[in-house]
Amino acid sequence: MRDTAKVRAFRERYGPTAIVTGAAQGIGRAFADSLAARGLGVYMLDVQAETVQGAAREVASTFGVPAIPIAVDLSRRDFLAKILDVTDRPGKEHEIGLVICNAAIGLEGPFLSESLEDLHRAVEVNCHASLTLTHHFGQRLVDRGRGGLMLIASGTALQGSPNYVNYAATKAFNLVLGESLWYELKDHEVDVLSFVPGPTNTPGMRKSVPGLEEGVAVGMIQLPSVTAESAIEALGKRASAARQREHANRLSARRRAADTIIERQERARLRSKRGRHD
């Protein structure tokens, strides 16, 4: 990627270092590549230790930036301490300016056929980990006065989704968490984005679509690199975005309604505040 003014501005706002969860493969790996191409160092988090170590070596070799693997199980309630043991380093050159919560467990099949243990583990990874990361690093970014948070949602988050019940519900959590934080943090110069990727040729997708070959875009199914770039291009522009027009239109309609309600609430709050001071 050329060192354009746009790329330099991206590094200034979201660098020098980013965290990407679920970074060993698929969309997470594509995020690591896209950020490294913009000159950001990347902490690559994944539960697959050997895979994420190999991916980090490739990113560092290809783009000439620090790419540090962290093998961590986000379903454990103590996962943040393990991350901070690696990432908390003195000096502004090690500051984290962007956190992308991409890791997720997608359970497919009838809800009642899933074990409660598996359902709980998915909630830990998909919801609790995202909440923990956005809360911890969100405060740091507010104190810093710039940066970004990104939460990866799903088209299933936009409606009830049979056979993806738990996954859809957890992704709806991420969608609303990110949109709500966008309202709260925008005045602190922290950009927050909930992103709906659309069908993407990932290992999970290949399990669901027999015959789908790695590295191939077919119809609506795009490559991870296309999905990651779409998300990065949308960061800082809106509260939520999607790669596919159908999803993007539905998100826009939701946000217009939300904006109207929130503006009304804000006017009422200001009137109440003035009344208390009179």
Domain coordinates of the chain in residue numbers?
A: 5-243
Q: Say which CATH architecture domain 5-243 belongs to.
A: 3-Layer(aba) Sandwich (3.40)
Q: What would the two tokens of residue 197 be?
A: 């990727």
Mean pLDDT on 129-138: 98
Q: Are 126 and 173 in contact, with CB atoms under 8 Å apart?
A: yes
Query: How many Å apart are CA 88 and CA 21, to the nearest integer?
Result: 17
Q: How far is CA 28 from CA 4, 160, 204, 267, in A?
A: 24, 25, 12, 40
pTM score, whole prediction:
0.91
pLDDT tens digits for 210-263? Answer: 888 888 888 889 999 999 999 999 999 999 999 999 999 999 988 888 888 888
Q: Is the bond into 16 cis (omega within 30 degrees of 0)? A: yes
pLDDT tens digits for 89-111? Answer: 988 888 999 999 999 999 999 99
Which of 59-93 are b and which e, b meaning 16 or more Cβ less than 10 Å from the residue's Cβ? bbeebebbbbbbbbbbbbeebbebbeeebeeeeee
Query: Please, which residues bridge with residue 44 across strands?
Result: 20, 69
H helices within 20-164, ranges in order?
26-37, 49-63, 79-87, 116-123, 129-144
pLDDT band for position 1 (50/70/90)? low
pLDDT score for 265: 82
Query: How many Å apart are CA 153 and CA 170, to the nearest integer?
Result: 8
Query: Please, which residues bridge with residue 41 across strands?
Result: 17
The one-letter amino acid at 13: R
Q: Is the dihedral of CA 83, 89, 91, 93 positive or negative?
A: negative
Phi and psi at residue 201, to the nearest 5°: -75, 85
pLDDT above 70: residue 2? no
pLDDT above 80: residue 274? no
pLDDT tens digits for 27-54? Answer: 999 999 999 999 999 999 999 999 999 9
pLDDT above 90: residue 273? no
